[in-house]
Amino acid sequence: MIGDIVAKPGRKLVEMHLPSLIEQHKLDFVVANVENIAHGFGVTPETADELLRMGADVLTSGNHIWDKKEIIEYIQSENRLLRPANYPKIAPGRGHVVVRNRKGLKVGVLNVQGRIFMGPSEDPFSIAQELVEQMRKETPLILVDMHGEASSEKQAMGWFLDGKVTAVCGTHTHVPTADQRILPAGTAYVTDIGMTGPYDSIIGVEKEQIIQKFLDQIPTRFEPAKENPILQSMLIEVDENSGLAQTIQRITVRGED
């Protein structure tokens, strides 16, 4: 599971290293968060297709999914691009999908968004419970992208789904956490995977712009940074029969690697 891919530096790093990561670690399935992939804000049909060609199997997102309006038509026809499942049902697209991995096994992916310090959305817990129960009728292999600001809310989702899904991995803050673990009932968990993009930045944006905004509070257009790209991801080993995780470890690749 690849953390939020930010702008061209993130895309290029995935393009350079994902094929070799798939070969090196014998990856059967790749999930990537792409809500910031198009110049730092949103996703376009072209950037989504690019990631799918690179080897990603399912693309998740979050609160920036609608930043590029051309994605609205695309997401209605491409079920491998998810928006948070707890958005209104009338919203285009869907928040979960079951597809086959490279070994032919069915894998479910669920994308939900937190409500603390985030935009309005429906209850992610009740919707996650409903959709996980639905997907478990097809497969025990289920990966959850919990897109949220508050660590407590993401931790709560991990404990809530422990033993019911393969993994709950947090996204959104772009800052990796050091709490990856296997929860007692067998679900892999991390509060935030981190970011795939320019590391010499403030959560992917040019440092000077963010610092100036803190100083003068004047609205400005943020531009993605470019320096020192880094790929941050989680590698999860799974028991194919039970769907429970065996190991979870952080995989980090720098641009110069």
Which residues participate in catalysis according to the annotation? 64
Lateral strand order in the sheet of 142-147 = 96-100, 106-113, 142-147, 167-171, 188-190, 181-182
Among candidates 104, 111, 142, which has minimal Cα distance to 34?
A: 111
HSE-up (13 A, CA, CB side) for residue 208: 1
DSSP state, residue 251: E
- Dist. CA 136–CA 165, nearest whole Å: 9
| Contact yes or no for 82/90 (Cβ under 8 A) | no
Tokens of 240: 């194919």
CA-wise closest residue to 9 among 209, 205, 234, 213: 205
Q: Which DSSP letter does residue 205 get?
A: B
Count of alpha carbons within 13 Å of 115, Cβ hemisphere only? 13
